Structure 1
Amino acid sequence: MSKHLKTSAMVLALAASSTMAYAVESTDPIKLTLHDWSGQLINTKIMGSILQEAGYNVEYVQADYIAQFAGLKSGDLHLAMEIWETTGREALDDATGSGNVVNVGETGLQAIEEWWYPMYMKERCPGLPNWEALRDCAEEFSTAETAPNGRYVGGPVTWGGFDDERVEALDMGFEVVHAGTDAALFAELESAYQRQDPIVLWVYVPHWATAKYEGEFVEFPAYSPECYSDPSVGVNPDMAYDCGKPRGPIWKAAWAGMQEKWPGAYDIVADYKLSNEEMSAMVGTADLDGVEIDTVVADWMTANKDRWSAWIAE
């Protein structure tokens, strides 16, 4: 056997022994939560696939975005791959404050979740993206069901976001209509865009929508934690949530016992990073091109083997 082949064999043997070392910590399944939007499903299944490559037993559990924290606190669930600074930070801080959940760090994804309108609506409401202009021309966004109030299409109720509270606090003159699913939300956008119908809705990044459709996010008063917690802070001295949504990282959260029970897996989770660009592209492949989530994940695993292999080896 040549020196090169011997070296390659040794590297493979070391990699295998490393994988086995991870695997023997516990054969109990690591339970990862699944939600109801494509990016989260992709993110979670990539992480699950990497853990499986490292020898771990993985189980996926469908869970509500906010209610999942009860399972993470109790140890019935072990890992949540997408806690958005925009909508989940309060729940995350509450959970980590209990001592039963840990923040495993950033995913590398940077989140925006806010009211968004297609650019053709700016012609009908020239003061946009200013929120006061939106309030003053709310009727331009009305439908037969909501007139004279405007219609705002929010995300599924389980996503949180305080849109109903924001409308009341800022006296927006809008009726909040929550989409039942992520798919329904963007079907509303597609339908309105094709007909140039009035619409303002919840759009988030990373996602393909801001690349496919020309539009802008509404500019609300700047977010602060106090705006959410103290009614005296903000433009309305009597009500909280009189500001925009926070922006920032998308976090990974884990049951506090994960690091002790599966230390190798915990380290892999901590090292794991994706970018907004690659996530938006994958979501577009799934949602626009109709490629199955599992196929999107498998393609990423094949294209990024060196990358995730390094996370396993560390």
Structure 2
Amino acid sequence: MARKGPDYVAPVRRILVALLTLLLLSIFLFWQIDSPRAERIRSMVIDRFVPGFEWAMAPVTRLSRMVAGFESYARLYEQNQELRRELQKMSSWKEAAVQLEQENAKLLAQNSVRIDPALTSVSGVVLTDSGTAFRQSVLLNVGSRDGILDGWATMDGLGLVGRISGVGETTSRVMLLTDPSSRIPVNILPSGQNALLTGDNTSFPALDFIESPENLRPGDRVTSSGDGGVFPPGLLVGQVAQASDGRLRVRLAADYGRLEFLRVLRSHPSERLADTGLLIPPPPAEFIGPPLPPAMDVDPAAVKPDEAAAPPDAPADEQSND
């Protein structure tokens, strides 16, 4: 069996590692020396050897750029996710802002409606549409605790909607003008004719009992007349429209598709006059029936005292007995 010779590789490796360590340590120490001569030597070494190592630095540079790009992409991804979350929040806030803007516009529209200054109002929110095929009505969140009375008129921001037809403690029912049982007297301008607005379960109630239909034109203004004390006079109802069958109807001014807020008008009874002495009495009514016989002129001197003393309706025998 052959004998192995001495191993020289391990000692040589240790010597090389020690020399490399000493070289690197000396370079490190030399690089830290703060001396003008050392600075000039360092500059000469950098100018001589560093430009020749560009090919070796290229992979490191590309790797550092890739790492920086990955970090930038990670930051962009996080920012994108944060922006998405903020955008979702902004969408919900936008929807809430749009709803508030619509409610504000409707409330401002109600405030801009010109009515009699003597009429005060109570605003309520429409809770639900309780209308059916045979009844058109809505519910409000105001009732008797708010002073609501049956029969008061209700308006939205544009025109007349209906009247209170039932009052509870905290809610009240509004019968719409489109209800089949709704009948209100109206006045048509500029002709000034009176008519009756009749609900028939359609969005265009009909006009009945018109005095002179030939004087009406589509687009004429329709307001409440106040006859019968049903509604205060002068409330806007809508405009005259002619249906395909030739019948005159009313295009309602109120937006029935978006009833959210309603104004309940406090209608007070008309003032009663106790002192009629200052009023001019009406002329006496003409007698209706056959004409009375003409009165005869009688000379008072020709009448006997006995006949004058006797009552006109006394029998003849009683006059003779006297």
**Shared fold (TM-score greater than 0.5)?**
no
Pick 1 or 2: higher relative contact order, CA cutoff 8 A, min separation 6: 1
Coarse TM-score class (shorter-chain normalised): under 0.3
TM normalised by structure 1 equals 0.22
The structure with the largest alpha-carbon Rg is 2
Structure with greater helix share of residues:
1
